[in-house]
Amino acid sequence: MTITSPNDESQHIYLKPRSIIFFSGEERFSYTHSIALRKLDRVEDQLIFRKRRLSLTFRKIRKGECSCPYINQCDSHKSQQTVVTPIDEFKIKLEASKNSDVPTEIEKKHVYDVYEKIASHFSHTRYKPWPRVAEYLNKLPKGALNADVGCGNGKYLNVNNEVFSIGTDRSFNLVNICKEKSKTNQLFVADSLKLPFRSNVFDSVISIAVVHHFSNVELRLKAISELIRILSPSGTLLIYVWALEQENKKFENQDNFVAWHLQNNYENDVKVESLGPEILKEDKKNSTVYHRYYHMFIKGELEDLMKKFENVSIIESYYDHANWCCILKKEY
């Protein structure tokens, strides 16, 4: 069970079978609890497979005026306060997201750490550019300046040699792989939440399979705002994110930990600490299983995020390679 305090500090607690936990006093309202999405728990260095478990909340309905002392948590008192509309709520979140450039533990452990670990194996499986991304790059005018944010192993950096492309990635190991492929590749190790570029610089920006690795909407908005910031007026932006609606893979929820089976011959000295799903050894397959965090986008969700920004317009939306995709143009 995951218990979250009023100041958003979370603690994971293991409850033995046929046990129960009680909250009393103000903690009944100020603390939240949930069952994290995973199949295994580590307890005293033991891996325990989960069985069915339930999380129940019991509330008493009162009639008449409420006299409870928990004003900040009480629904009756809240109903008397100023009503915040959905658009007001978004504006508040968007304003907060301007300073949301700090990744959560999920990004650190299940994106950054894991990609450092699997970089070589990942690169071995990513060698052919997707046709529609290549088509977009080949249509760019000669001499255009393009940014590949989250470039991975750099498979899109040299698609169009008449375009000058600069790549960034959070993984040191992936950036080194890009350099090994071509000494002429221009690269930076950088987080997508805080790009090391001036505003309004690039004629084109691409973000292929990156934004879905951010675990909340504020960080996703921040990542998109950075892509738009570095794009020059009248420039275009191409974004790909994983789709929930896939033909070959079925996901029950939008937020998932996706397994990567790292073959033993690709092992390196990078240490990865687990946050949710456990790191598992598969001796029969000579591999270790790591888990990457993904937010699976539903149809229309990417467009809805883009519509939050007044300075871009959607040129085209489409589905490709189990991804939802958008091409946008930055207005003057």
Domain ranges of the chain: 2-65, 98-330
pLDDT digits (tens, 9 = 90+) for 144-194: 999 999 999 999 999 999 999 999 999 999 999 999 998 889 999 999 999
CATH superfamily of 98-330: Vaccinia Virus protein VP39 (3.40.50.150)
Residue 222, helix vs strand vs coil: helix
**What tokens does 190 get?**
């950088």
- The overall pTM is greater than 0.75: no
Residue 90: the pLDDT is 46
Which of 225 and 37 is assigned the larger pLDDT? Answer: 225
Residue 113 is inside which H or E element, if any?
helix 113-125
The closest of 125, 100, 185, 102 to 151, measured between CA atoms, is 185
The pLDDT tens digits for 229-276 are 999 999 999 999 999 999 888 888 899 999 999 998 898 888 887 666
Of residues 265 and 226, more confidence is placed in 226
292: which strand partners?
258
CA distances (Å), 186 to each of 127, 147, 148, 177, 248, in order?
Answer: 19, 10, 10, 12, 35
